[in-house]
Chains A and B, each alone.
Chain A
Amino acid sequence: MNLILNDLPPLHWALAGLGIAGITLALLLIGSRRLGISTGFEDVCSLVLPAPYFRRSAVVSGRPWRLPLLCGLVLGGFLSAVLGGGWKPTWALGMFDTAIGFGPAGKLAWMFVAGLFIGFGTRLAGGCTSGHGIFGLANLERPSLITTVTFMAAGIVTTQIVYRVIFPLTGL
């Protein structure tokens, strides 16, 4: 299977896993930073929201390194497109288009609601795929094992319901 992005062939999984481990270790070795992206959402919120939660030092002190890292992620996606067949704005969403078929307005609504679950859920859980699933598991932290097993299970159940029951995809 190729990527939605310019129909590019994917990197080998072992190479990608090694690269992600390399980034994780580099952050730790260079700045004593634990990999974690979802806390960056709090950093962004802390720029505009006055709630005490966003004023605590765990959030504010992380901004000088986490916000540049988040900007880097956007840049990395941009470079990936530019160097891999060209960058152009797109609504393409792979099997969503085949089985669900919502237009732009429907996609925006769908994604906004999904984003609410992601933003609220990751912060309630104390991390996401990177903070719990990669760093937390590699650092042998029990809360990360519990959280990772839970979000993987919830993702599996949700996708099975969406693509095998509500919008059955032929060929599955």
Chain B
Amino acid sequence: MTALYVVLGAIFGFILSRSGAADYNFIQGMFLFTNLQLYGIMGAAVLVGAPGIWLIKQRGRTLFGRTIEIEMKPLHRGNISGGVLFGIGWSLAGMCPGPILVNIGEGKIYALAALAGALTGAGIFGTVYQRLQKPFALPALKVGTGEG
């Protein structure tokens, strides 16, 4: 199974690399409204993904017979404040989390600094989680802010 996830990741990474989703200029073009490619990609992915997810949930089992269980994301104040911080970071770096890794693979040296920053940021968040729980109305530690 490990190899299968590497292959799926590689296909995903290849698509992100070649579509502009991991390209600094396309990201800025999206936020400047001068290039609409990435709106098209996200829209198409969601429009095709929605009925697909619904059908797979109806089926209820994976190809290997396991019950399909999807953890729904909890609603909390972190959705908005975290969204603001992430949006600023996405704009500044021109990369969201997946494309940081894709850019490293492509040979973009500065993406290593973005990864170091992202790991540091996630590390700080997890370390101070219990102190953020009250002000941001975050879920119990066991649940966390949501997988994804």
CB distance from B36 to the nearest CB of A (A): 8
Is the pair B91, A155 in contact by a Cβ cutoff of 8 Å? yes
Interface residues of B in 8-40 (CB under 8 A from A): 8-35, 37-38, 40
Residue in B closest to A138 when the chains form the complex, CB atoms: B49
Residue in B closest to A6 when the chains form the complex, CB atoms: B106
Is the pair A125, B44 in contact by a Cβ cutoff of 8 Å? no
**Chain B: number of interface residues, binned into ranges:** 35 or more
Is the pair A77, B102 in contact by a Cβ cutoff of 8 Å? yes
Give per-residue flags for B53-70: 1 if the beta carbon is below 8 A from chain A beta carbons, else 0. 100100000111011111
Is the pair A77, B86 in contact by a Cβ cutoff of 8 Å? no
Q: A30-B62, A76-B105, A81-B106 are in contact. Are A4 and B91 (CB under 8 A)?
A: no
**Chain A: number of interface residues, binned into ranges:** 35 or more
Q: A3-B18, A19-B11, A51-B129 are in contact. Are A89 and B109 (CB under 8 A)?
A: yes
Residue in B closest to A41 when the chains form the complex, CB atoms: B122
Interface residues of B in 61-104 (CB under 8 A from A): 62-64, 66-76, 78-98, 100-104
**DSSP majority for the B interface?**
helix
Is the pair A14, B40 in contact by a Cβ cutoff of 8 Å? yes
Is the pair A75, B56 in contact by a Cβ cutoff of 8 Å? no
Is the pair A49, B123 in contact by a Cβ cutoff of 8 Å? yes
Q: A52-B141, A119-B125 are in contact. Are A155 and B31 (CB under 8 A)?
A: yes
Residue in B closest to A109 when the chains form the complex, CB atoms: B113
Is the pair A44, B148 in contact by a Cβ cutoff of 8 Å? no
Q: A42-B122, A56-B144, A119-B121 are in contact. Are A13 and B40 (CB under 8 A)?
A: yes
Q: A38-B122, A41-B119, A115-B120 are in contact. Are A158 and B144 (CB under 8 A)?
A: no
Residues of B whose CB lies within 8 Å of any CB of A are 1-35, 37-38, 40-50, 52-53, 56, 62-64, 66-76, 78-98, 100-111, 113-127, 129-130, 132, 136, 141-148
28 contacts between A and B (CB under 8 A): A16-B41, A20-B41, A21-B46, A26-B8, A28-B56, A34-B148, A38-B148, A41-B121, A76-B14, A80-B102, A80-B106, A92-B108, A93-B108, A94-B24, A110-B92, A110-B110, A114-B95, A115-B118, A117-B86, A117-B92, A121-B89, A126-B145, A129-B90, A131-B147, A136-B73, A138-B50, A138-B52, A144-B73
The 5 closest A-B pairs by CB, nearest first: A72-B9, A115-B117, A76-B13, A131-B148, A17-B44
